[in-house]
Amino acid sequence: MLKRNEQYDVVVIGGGNAALCAAMTAARTGARVLILESAPKAYRGGNSRHTRNFRCMHGGPLGPLVESYSEEEYFADLMKVTGGKTDEHLARLAIRSSEECLPWMIEHGVRFQPSLSGTLSLARTNAFFLGGGKSLVNAYYRTAARLGVEVQYEAEVTHLELDGNRVAHIDYRKDGQARRVTPSSVVVASGGFQADTDWLARAWGPAAKNFLIRGTPYNRGLVLADLLEQGVEQVGDPTQCHAVAIDGRAPKFDGGIVTRLDCVPFSIVVNKDAERFYDEGEDVWPKRYAIWGRLVAAQPDQVGYVIIDAKSLNLFMPSVFPPIAANTLEELADKMGLPPAKLRATVEGFNAACGDTSAFHPTELDGVTTQGLTPPKTNWARPISEPPFYGYSLRTGVTFTYLGLKVDEKAQCSIHDTKINNLWAAGETMAGSILGQGYLAGFGMTIGTVFGRIAGKEAAAHAYAT
């Protein structure tokens, strides 16, 4: 039975950063706003729960940010990581707007702190949330409530009925009942589809079944799929996603930040046949962690094994699970399910290729390299020789997907080259409109905040105009 709800000016689908920014912005103009969040309250906030910073342009010291970070430098950083696959117009809009977002975020309850230990390199470019993304989400829900925004949790949107170039109504399920709302305006901010591993497998092949999902299990792309099926314009390559190599023992979903492993530069990484497959010392880890997700995905069974020895154990941030430890390589191989003789041969081959290690420097490209080894290890190449030996398994951890809704500079969606006059999108679900591949730390929150605010403003204005 369909149950008709009261009239809302704006319905926001999703409950993370972009959704909340849209909802608060619309509510501040006086609009009646409803948030439909598919997760229960404890898991509200989508992937924003796992975030921790906001990349922000600034002309001078701003809040927690030191010095300055210009539009040109920001854009250049973005171009480097995306290899040029960037919509310059929208990217510059996001970058330019980020500066006015930071005071707005503080005004709406977000609190920042100096850069966290181990992330000092980001003190100039990224503003860190005190308490992390969930504290940001909590603050926004409190502010939204004060502004009169209504929130329904465990409200799963099943269908947006498109009538020509407008959304006629939204169908959703709550408490086992089918419900319908017919708002004047709709904002979709319900993330990517990465938690739907069947969809991932259709794009990636069966290997994707072995991927771990670093964030919320609630981003299954239901709304995205519903809109794409109806012909709403899409953007992005379904195989493109932000994927990193994380601890293979991490939970299938929601492992977040603590499952990352920073030890690759000080290790050798082998596949399940105990063979190396890539230069572990190619560059400093913050510049390389994002490629290892794909490297591991290309190995048999989509698994890798990091091997270090005693002298490297304290060179990297601790991770959530202790390493597997053994006094001999054979014992370590046994414990990790690797062929022992092959692992010893690989390690001995690597050790023999190591040269003078006196220049070893853990935080700089030290040029301590192997000779005559394929693949080489071009920095931090020290023999794996000092027991106990330690190992971690590595798996591909997907952060978010890039396939999404194509929007314009007003965050508005289109169908058959025509604007849909009451549908806007913000956050991960439209991030593909800006980035085609690659990722820049803290830029997801910038896109969510900037386009969330734009979508909220436009949606409210449309509601008043009708």
Partner 1 sequence: MHMQPELLQEARRQAEICNACRYCEGYCSVFPALHAERAFADGDLTQLANLCHNCRGCYYACQYTAPHEFALNLPAALAEVRQDSWQAHAWPRGFARLFDRAGLAMMVLLVLGFAGLFALSQMLRPESGHGFYAYMSHGVMVAIFVPAFFLPLCALAVSLRAFWRTVGGGAVTLSALVQALQSAGQMRNLKGGHGDGCNFEAEDRFSHARRHCHQAVLVGFLLCFAATGSATLMHYLFGLEAPYGPLSLPKLLGVPGGILLCCGAAGMVWLKLRADRTLGAVAYWGGEMAFVLLLFLVAASGLVLWAATGTSAVAVLLPLHLGAVLSFFLLTPYSKMAHGFYRMAALLRDALRKDPGMR
Q: How far is the CB of 319 from partner 1 (least distance, A)?
A: 5
* 310 lies in the site for partner 1, by CB under 8 A: no
The smaller minimum CB distance to partner 1, of residues 207 and 258, is found at: 258
Q: Which of these ranges, 173-181, 226-234, 256-264, 396-404, lies near partner 1 under the rule CB under 8 A? A: 256-264
* 258 lies in the site for partner 1, by CB under 8 A: yes
* 309 lies in the site for partner 1, by CB under 8 A: no
When binding is defined by CB under 8 A, the residue of 98, 152, 302, 319 that contacts partner 1 is: 319
CA distances from 19 to 237, 243, 412 (A): 24, 23, 14
The smaller minimum CB distance to partner 1, of residues 28 and 111, is found at: 111
* 107 lies in the site for partner 1, by CB under 8 A: no
# residues contacting partner 1 (CB under 8 A):
32
* 135 lies in the site for partner 1, by CB under 8 A: yes
When binding is defined by CB under 8 A, the residue of 1, 117, 175, 176 that contacts partner 1 is: 117
Q: What number of other Cβ atoms are within 10 A of residue 234's Cβ?
A: 16
The smaller minimum CB distance to partner 1, of residues 176 and 322, is found at: 322
Q: How far is the CB of 24 from partner 1 (least distance, A)?
A: 17
The smaller minimum CB distance to partner 1, of residues 111 and 406, is found at: 111
Scanning residues 322 to 351, which ones bind partner 1 (CB under 8 A)?
322
Scanning residues 15 to 54, which ones bind partner 1 (CB under 8 A)?
42-43, 49-50, 52
- The helix-helix angle for 443-465 and 17-28 (nearest 10°) equals 30
The smaller minimum CB distance to partner 1, of residues 262 and 348, is found at: 262
Q: How far is the CB of 456 from partner 1 (least distance, A)?
A: 23
Q: Which residues bind partner 1 (CB under 8 A)?
A: 42-43, 49-50, 52, 111, 113-114, 116-118, 129-135, 138, 142, 251, 254, 256-258, 260, 314, 317-320, 322
